[in-house]
Structure 1
Amino acid sequence: MLPNGTPRSVRGLLAAASVSLAIVALSDILALFAGARIYLLIDEDQGFAAAPQQRLDAAYSLYQTAGNVQGIVFLPCAVLFIAWFYWTRRNTGLLAPDRFRKGQGWAIGGWLIPLANFWLPYRIAVDMWGAASPLPADGEPYRAGIWPVNLWWGLLVSSSLYGLYASSRYESAETLTEIRAAVMQYMAADVLDLAAAVAAVYFAVRLTSMHWRKATASSPYSA
């Protein structure tokens, strides 16, 4: 908190997380390009699963590079986003502590527990959204629609699960036909991941903006 009682701004973390999410989106675009190259190359001989080995090797090399890039950019993005998530949870907890069912430490721990991480961060995000919603007016409670939370979380979980499925298909593929089908699955997962990154930026910007307007208003922090 700042000396005057105003919660500390997380706009710096928001900017860093947004940039990292944009880089993740760019890595997804690179993977889509590389995947489309393999997909079209295998099918270019009038629909038959055949292609020159040299061109296939080059396509596989690019696809592997794209996958490595995705892996490299994911970790710093996750760290920055979770850091923003944690500090936003701390700040929104100052606005309306009664809205939260979990302590602020769960804003980090919730991401690290297997299986529970498919649910806990979402519940915390919903609570933060409610705490940052505008104060009641004329005696009527107000809460901003939570569709940005639902959209972001739905895309994130879908891309994670579908990515695991696509990975298993690709790892078990043996023939060119199977590889082509698995690459198509991976491309669908990349599209979901790209959409999830965009939705995450929108969700984070909206939540930060809502929180800051409420925190800096002249009204008390109670909700």
Structure 2
Amino acid sequence: MLCTRCRIRTAVTDDGLCTFCSGTRPPLPDGLMAPVPGPGGWGVGTWPRSPVGLARAVTALLGVVIAADLFAIVTGLRVRALWDRLATDEAVDVFGPDGASAERLYLLSGNVQNLANLVTAVVFIIWFHRTRRNAEVFDPSVQRMGPGWAVGGWFVPVANFWFPYRVASGVWEASAQTRPDGGWRTLPRTPLNLWWGAWIAAVLAARVTGRLWERAEEPAEIVRAAGLVAASDAVDIVAAVLAVLYVRAVTGMQVERALHGRAPDGPAPAPVPGAHR
């Protein structure tokens, strides 16, 4: 019977989970733990921990982020339409009931966005840190930065545009899936590169359009700023979709990597009982 959580490995516990998803720690197959630790090897376990549950949580929260962005786009375009009418017809009262309702919804959408982004960021960083610790088990020799940077790298000004990518790059390389014969298979980093590029674009767009919105005073300026903010939210949606693809790709690779359990030059692991059922 397959694991009820990852649907890949054989279930070994009474509740239908495999050793990877249940946290059970049987002896490691020969060659899984490389002898030389990579950067920050201190405190890293000798067995990978399943990222599946966290990946599901991150995916669900990214869906909430997308929904919040769509809500913000709709309410923002409504506000933009009201101010656009004022720019062409001064008789329009944007401070009337319709205008007040539009402003309240737009403010609410911004608060929803902030809350969704905050919660998603916390869970994503936890997942990111776990995949980095797993990468230390898979192949520490390709890690460029220690596990602590999987968390701290996001909070270093300016460097946070580069440090997390270096961590993610090492994770991607260490988590590369193996062929059925145990050899390495090179996987394009397209999901990683697309997600990172879109995330950078979304962050920069949000900062620029946020400042334009705060400085807008005249109706024409508000119309222009509201349109740009909506476009920025659309970029954030693209980044969230690509983040889902990236999370799924890394999680799938790590589950597959743990299943094969072999270091680049190490001996082949012992067969997993029932793995081909």
Structure 2 distance, partners of 1:178, 1:155, is 27
Equivalent pairs counted in the alignment come to 221
Q: Which runs of 5+ in 2 are unaligned?
A: 1-22, 29-46, 266-277
The residue correspondences of 1:49-198 to structure 2 (distance < 5 A) are 50=90, 51-53=92-94, 54=96, 55-135=98-178, 142-198=185-241
1:172 positional shift: 0.5
1:100 maps to amino acid: Q
Of Structure 1 and Structure 2, the greater helix share is in 1
2:64 corresponds to which residue?
A: 23
Structure 1 distance, partners of 2:218, 2:109, is 22
2:48 corresponds to 1:48: no
TM-score norm. by structure 1 comes to 0.92
Give the counterpart of 2:74 among 33, 42, 45.
33
1:36 maps to amino acid: L
2:62 maps to amino acid: L
1:41 positional shift: 2.4
Structure 2 distance, partners of 1:10, 1:134, is 15
Identify which range, 54-63 or 83-92, moves more after superposition: 54-63
Structure 2 distance, partners of 1:11, 1:138, is 25
2:63 maps to amino acid: A
Judge conservation of contact 2:76–2:106 (CA < 8 Å) in 1. Answer: yes
Judge conservation of contact 1:2–1:8 (CA < 8 Å) in 2. Answer: no
1:206 positional shift: 0.7
Judge conservation of contact 2:176–2:184 (CA < 8 Å) in 1. Answer: no
1:49 positional shift: 6.0
Identify which range, 5-14 or 149-158, moves more after superposition: 5-14
Structure 1 distance, partners of 2:175, 2:225, is 42
Identify if the C-alpha distance between structure 1 residues 187 and 102 changes in structure 2 by more than 3 Å, giving closer, same or farther. same
2:262 corresponds to 1:220: yes
1:204 maps to amino acid: V
1:42 positional shift: 2.6
1:76 maps to amino acid: V
2:225 maps to amino acid: A
1:90 maps to amino acid: R
TM-score norm. by structure 2 comes to 0.75
